[in-house]
A and B are shown apart, each in its own frame.
Chain A
Amino acid sequence: EVQLLESGGGLVQPGGSLRLSCAASGFTFRSYDMTWVRQAPGKGLEWVSGISGSGGSTYYADSVKGRFTISRDNSKNTLYLQMNSLKTEDTALYYCAKRWSYYIDYWGQGTLVTVSS
């Protein structure tokens, strides 16, 4: 059974940093691209970032480019999202997701990031 467990969310001031983690199990982690998707309170889904199975290729939404860094440790079956220069508009539930072909087939339960002074 595929399981994705996010952690690392919390309250941070504007301009601050946070690192999210996602522990994956139930599939061959290194064989799949992974994705972060966020959902602001009461709002829709927003694709944030993606990374290839090897970690050699990374992709970002314009809204986070230059501030967020996605990475992975295939020896630990863990996905990361380093978030710097956080803004109030980054407040959201951040989902870790497994990509299959051009789609997300499994989602974690999310970790909440609140950016507020």
Chain B
Amino acid sequence: QSALTQPRSVSGSPGQSVTISCTGTSSDVGGYNYVSWYQQHPGKAPKFMIYDVNKRPSGVPDRFSGSKSDNTASLTISGLQAEDEADYYCCSYAGSYTWVFGGGTKLTVL
């Protein structure tokens, strides 16, 4: 149950695109298409942003998209806005009704 690997920080200017990677193993990210992403603003609870690798819950802007290749999942945010500045966490099902999160990535909008 080791945490998934995410970059500690990424940054981009308003209007640009950024991509956050999330690397696991064949026992989690690579083994299941049950990858999700969460956005967390300081002092707030996480918010559900992406599920099934690339699907968006109702109300999440289509600027947010997800993908996966082998053991690495990615979250891409296009048309960056100031309000996107937050921490982002990936999460993968790891079998036997257990889950593993990534270490989190701080997104800075320059």
Closest residue of A by beta carbon distance from B51: A103
Q: State whether A57 touches B97 (Cβ < 8 A).
A: yes
Q: State whether B46 touches A107 (Cβ < 8 A).
A: yes
Chain B contact residues, CB within 8 Å of chain A: 1, 3, 32, 34, 36, 38, 45-48, 51, 57, 89, 91, 93, 96-104
Contact of B97 among A43, A59, A62 (CB under 8 A): A59
- Chain A positions within 8 Å of B96 at CB level: 59
Q: State whether B102 touches A47 (Cβ < 8 A).
A: no
Q: In whole Å, how far is A2's beta carbon from the nearest beta carbon of chain B?
A: 11
Q: State whether A44 touches B101 (Cβ < 8 A).
A: yes
A54-84 toward B: CB 8 Å interface, digit per residue (1/0)? Answer: 0001010111000000000000000000000
Q: In whole Å, how far is B105's beta carbon from the nearest beta carbon of chain A?
A: 10
Contact of A44 among B36, B45, B89 (CB under 8 A): B89
- Chain B positions within 8 Å of A110 at CB level: 45
Closest residue of A by beta carbon distance from B104: A44
Closest residue of B by beta carbon distance from A95: B45
Q: State whether B103 touches A44 (Cβ < 8 A).
A: yes
Interface assignment of A45: CB less than 8 Å from any CB of chain B: yes
Task: Report the bound CA distance from A43 to B98 in whole Å.
Answer: 20
- Chain B positions within 8 Å of A106 at CB level: 48
Q: State whether A108 touches B1 (Cβ < 8 A).
A: no
Q: In whole Å, how far is B77's beta carbon from the nearest beta carbon of chain A?
A: 19
Q: In whole Å, how far is A27's beta carbon from the nearest beta carbon of chain B?
A: 14
6 contacts between A and B (CB under 8 A): A45-B38, A46-B3, A104-B36, A104-B48, A104-B91, A105-B57
Q: State whether B102 touches A44 (Cβ < 8 A).
A: yes
- Chain A positions within 8 Å of B101 at CB level: 37, 44-47
Task: Report the bound CA distance from A43 to B89 in whole Å.
Answer: 11
Q: In whole Å, how far is B21's beta carbon from the nearest beta carbon of chain A?
A: 15
Contact of A45 among B51, B57, B104 (CB under 8 A): B104
Task: Report the bound CA distance from A46 to B104 in whole Å.
Answer: 11
Task: Report the bound CA distance from A69 to B47 in whole Å.
Answer: 26
Q: In whole Å, how far is B1's beta carbon from the nearest beta carbon of chain A?
A: 5
Q: State whether B104 touches A103 (Cβ < 8 A).
A: no
